[in-house]
Amino acid sequence: MQIRLMKNTTGVPNQAFSRHYAYAGITAVEAVAPGLPAYTHQYRRWNGLSGLPAPDQSAHYYFPANINGAMAAINRSLFPNASSADKAAIDSLESALHTEFLGTQSQTRIIKSSEFGKAVAAAVFNWAETDGYKNASNPYTPPTGPGLWKPTPPVQAAASTPYWGNNRPVITGSTDNTQPPAPLSYSTDPASPFFQMVKKVYDVSQTLTTDQMAMAAFWRDVPGVTSPGHWLSILQQVIRKKDTRLDKAVIAYATTGAAINDALISCWKAKYHYNLVRPITYIRDVMGHSGWNSYIGTPPHPEYSSAHSSLSAAAAVVLEKLFGNIGSFTDHTYDYMGMAPRTYNSFKAIGEEAALSRLYGGIHYLPTAEAGLVQGRKVADNIFRRQGNK
């Protein structure tokens, strides 16, 4: 349902769906917290979350009903502008599961469980509303000068969410020491490392193979299910493949969402600190290929570091930590769009392909993608260190 809501929602920047992923996952964990094993407590270290309801020790919750009430409530709150059809679908799913549960459980128990889940959702949403996202699009005048980002063709859109990097991470300390080093020094000299870095983007664009184009399109994600939504799709496929228990599933849901959310905060901080020029601008204005276009559209924010690389690396680390080596995994996220599924031999390989796809798409330099991978992994590593895991 949440993947559907992400896919259908308009007017929200792509990276902003990381919030929906993270806060819904946290809601799922806290909705079933009264029944979680002790080992899961180390994961519940949310940054400033308060106001959670106290569980009723005599309630004997039916945890699928806790989840049902919680997910319905948090998705209504996180997607207030969903279409009437999608809002009705949330209601319908909640009602159908409620009816199913009544086949084996008393109505009193189901209602009590659902109410607890809804109370959790209210507390998490109230916390989410204070994370700073409302200020992410405050007025912004980008700096000007050689090598600095400026709106890119063909849309020439203004800078998107320039203050996203100021958002509050959902896990304290997750973004500590994760900023990448400065990018290559800007130069228009054809012999310079910077020129050669951009030339690689141009040269690759002239010889794209069928598989490289398919890779770029597969990880384009918009239109699609959004970049965070793509990883939510991967997660639910992994949960099905592994026949994962509810306790581990909710932990995976919350932790991948947290890692993606916080990696993108770190990434956005770097983007608007360095304000590096995008390939399409340099290739047209400096290299003189005035009619050149990237294979996929260039998003309206600065070049460095790569958002998709950061979020994908972070998610891949979490999934590997929680599920181990997945072995052969085939991602069917875009079957519904007629795209061929893609197969990988590890979670790390999924993240690395997502990063490389940005080179083939013509929207990032290779060092930008590589920096994003390192950045995302650092965020995920911080999360697990914070939680006391090695």
Determine the 3-state secondary structure of 343 from DSSP. Answer: strand
pLDDT at position 165 is: 98
Please name which of 268, 238, 265 lies closest in space to residue 252, comparing C-alpha atoms: 238
Q: What is the pLDDT of residues 61-98, one digit of tens each?
A: 999 999 999 999 999 999 999 999 999 999 999 999 99
Do the Cβ atoms of 335 and 211 come closer than 8 Å? no
Q: Which domains does the chain have, with CATH numbers?
A: 2-128 (no CATH), 154-386 (1.10.606.20)
Dihedral (Cα; 260, 266, 272, 274), 10-degree rounding: -120
Q: Are 379 and 165 in contact (CB under 8 A)?
A: no
* Cβ 205 vs Cβ 295: under 8 Å: yes
How many Cα atoms are found within 13 Å in the side-chain-facing hemisphere of 118?
11
- Chain-centre distance for alpha carbon 362: 21
Strand partners, 357: none
- CA angle 117/80/88 to nearest 5° reads 75
Find where tokens 């010889």 sit: 207
Residue 139: burial class (beta carbons within 10 Å; 0-12, 13-18, 19+): exposed
| Nearest to 165, CA basis, from 142, 193, 132, 139 | 132
Given this model, what pLDDT does residue 390 score?
Answer: 41
Tokens of 132: 């700073």
Name, in order, each residue with C-beta under 8 angstroms of 297's C-beta and a sequence gap of 6 or more. 155, 363
Output the CA torsion sign for 321, 324, 327, 332: negative
Q: Are 73 and 118 in contact (CB under 8 A)?
A: yes
Angstrom distances, CA of residue 1 to CA of 4, 97, 220, 234, 279: 5, 13, 21, 14, 36
CA distances (Å), origin 236, targets 34, 243, 320, 353, 362? 23, 10, 15, 19, 30
H or E stretch at 340: none
Three-class SS of residue 344? strand
Q: What is the pTM for the complete model shown?
A: 0.97
**Amino acid 387: pLDDT:** 64
What are the respective helix, strand and coil percentages of the chain, to the nearest 5? 60, 5, 40
Tens of each residue's pLDDT in the chain, 390 residues? 999 999 999 999 999 999 999 999 999 999 999 999 887 877 888 999 999 999 998 889 999 999 999 999 999 999 999 999 999 999 999 999 999 999 999 999 999 999 999 999 999 999 999 999 999 999 999 999 999 999 999 999 999 999 999 999 999 999 999 999 999 999 999 999 999 999 999 999 999 999 999 999 999 998 889 999 999 999 999 999 999 999 999 999 999 999 999 999 999 999 999 999 999 999 999 999 999 999 999 999 999 999 999 999 999 999 999 999 999 999 999 999 999 999 999 999 999 999 999 999 999 999 999 999 999 999 999 999 876 554
C-alpha 36/C-alpha 40 separation (Å) is 6
Rounded CA gap, 72 and 68, in Å? 6
Phi, psi of 331 (to 5 degrees): -90, 115
